[in-house]
């Protein structure tokens, strides 16, 4: 199995013949998180522009890093990138730095903020500024257990699988996807 928050990855593997046709199995959204103590006093994403903040983001090559750039561009806030003190290799590192108070704010997936709600406050990003975050999954073409892998994909797309994803904070399969 191969799953990714960046459909570009699964599509490249498919074109190279390394995985079977990918399918979208869920979606997510971005949020800005701040430490529960909120020392910078951030109440809105627009506060990033006017307040002195230590912002942590994922590197642009990481899916959430690219999505962060999309949000900032859509909201006319690209200038806040000058406040970035750290570019992390994954979303967990961004979440951890903010949760530990090592940064004033960071962009993460909503699902990554959920396990640390006792340590962070989520600042919502308007729906109109949200990037299209969808996750694709594909069976590895040379899998030694293709039947089990295909059964797993079927299970995750089933109502029970989608309910489990929803309970974890993910969004349903987008209507125009798959």
Residues 45, 119 share a domain: yes
Split into its structural domains, the chain has a count of 2
- pLDDT of 143 reads 92
Q: Are residues 42 and 124 in the same domain?
A: yes
115 located within any domain: yes
The first and second tokens of residue 55, run together, are 């912002």
The domain in which residue 163 lies consists of 2-27+133-167
In tens, the pLDDT along 122-136 reads 999 999 999 999 999
- Report the C-alpha gap between 58 and 84 in whole angstroms: 10
Name the band, by pLDDT with cuts 50, 70 and 90, for residue 119. Answer: very high
Same domain, 85 and 9: no
Residue 84 has, within 13 A of its CA and on its CB side, a CA count of: 20
Q: What is the per-residue pLDDT for 176? A: 60
Q: Whole-model pTM?
A: 0.89
Q: Are 22 and 73 contained in the same domain?
A: no
pLDDT at position 44:
96
Query: Using CA atoms, how far apart are residues 53 and 42, in angstroms rounded to an integer?
Result: 9
Q: Which two tokens stand for residue 109?
A: 């997936």
CATH code (residue 90): 3.40.190.10
């Amino acid at each position: 199995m191969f799953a990714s928050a960046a459909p570009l990855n699964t599509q490249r593997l498919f074109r190279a013949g390394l995985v079977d046709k990918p399918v979208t199995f869920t979606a997510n959204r971005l949020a800005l998180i701040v430490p529960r103590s909120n020392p910078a006093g951030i109440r809105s994403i627009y506060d990033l522009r006017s307040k002195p903040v230590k912002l942590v983001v994922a590197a642009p090559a990481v899916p959430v890093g690219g999505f962060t750039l999309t949000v900032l561009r859509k909201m006319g806030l690209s200038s806040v990138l000058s406040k970035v003190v750290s570019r992390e290799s994954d979303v967990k590192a961004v979440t951890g730095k903010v949760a530990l108070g090592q940064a004033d704010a960071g962009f993460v997936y909503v699902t990554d903020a959920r396990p640390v709600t006792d340590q962070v406050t989520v600042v919502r990003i308007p729906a109109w500024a949200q990037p299209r975050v969808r996750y694709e999954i594909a069976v590895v073409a040379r899998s030694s257990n293709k039947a089990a892998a295909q059964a797993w994909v079927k299970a995750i797309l089933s109502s029970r699988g989608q309910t489990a994803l929803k309970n974890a904070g993910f969004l349903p399969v987008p209507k125009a996807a798959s």
